Amino acid sequence: MRGVILDSDSFDRGDLDTAALDTCLDHWARHRSTRPGEVLKRIDGCEVIVTNKVAIDAAVIATAALQLIVVAATGINNVDLAAAARRGVTVCNVRDYASAAVSQHVFSLVLALATRLGDYTQAVRQGRWQQSEVFCLLDYPIRELAGQTLGIIGLGNLGRRVARIAEGFQMQVLVCARPGSQEVPDGRVPLDTLLEKSDVISLHCPLTDATRNLIGSAQLQQMKSDAILINTARGGIVNENDLAAALRQGEIGGAGVDVLTEEPPDASHPLLAPDIPNLLVSPHNAWGSIQSRQRLADEIASLIQSYRSGAPRNCCQPG
Q: Residues 116, 161, 204, 284: which is the catalytic one?
A: 284
Report the SS3 class of residue 18.
coil
Q: Residues 234, 251, 293, 299: which is the catalytic one?
A: 234
Q: What is the Cα Rg of the chain in Å? A: 22
Is 284 one of the catalytic residues?
Answer: yes
Give 196's Cβ-side CA count (13 Å radius).
Answer: 5
Is 27 one of the catalytic residues?
Answer: no
Q: How far apart are CA 23 and CA 18, in angstroms?
A: 9
Please say whether the beta carbons of 219 and 246 come within 8 A. no
Q: Across-strand partners of 71? A: 51, 93
3-state helix, strand and coil shares in percent for the chain, rounded to the nearest 5: 35, 15, 50
The three-state (H, E, C) secondary structure of 162-189, written as one string: HHHHHHHCCCEEEEECCCCCCCCCCCCE
**Which are the catalytic amino acids?**
234, 263, 284
